[in-house]
Structure 1
């Protein structure tokens, strides 16, 4: 009887919160309720992408400034092997 009552109470809580939430996820990390609208979630996603792009551009700029490209030639019995390597100081 106690199990039935606790199960019923948990079900009512989940049903009540799900009615107002935009997204309810049940997964390995537990239950997550996201009250934001799909448009708000999309805007957050775009902000993260924009920040990642900005970070990658800064990283590439620093890498170009401190690095150079070297071509290394190695002789083998079958001929020469040319390898282009990026060397950063």
Structure 2
């Protein structure tokens, strides 16, 4: 019994610290994230909000560009040593 209590105490302390960290293995190597799950969730919400704002902006620009009737598509071809390069652009007058 004298050995069991300290072992349980150490196990509780070790698992509590591991909960607040995550280990990431990726192309840049191994990294340890010391943020809490709450902080990670907040960062994730901020990224989603930025992505939504970016998507709304892109859709607004697309609608603005497509609402004009006097647009045309211009394709230019240029020959390079590696072959023909085609560039298509949309020109609105």
Give the TM-score of the pair, scaled to structure 1: 0.49
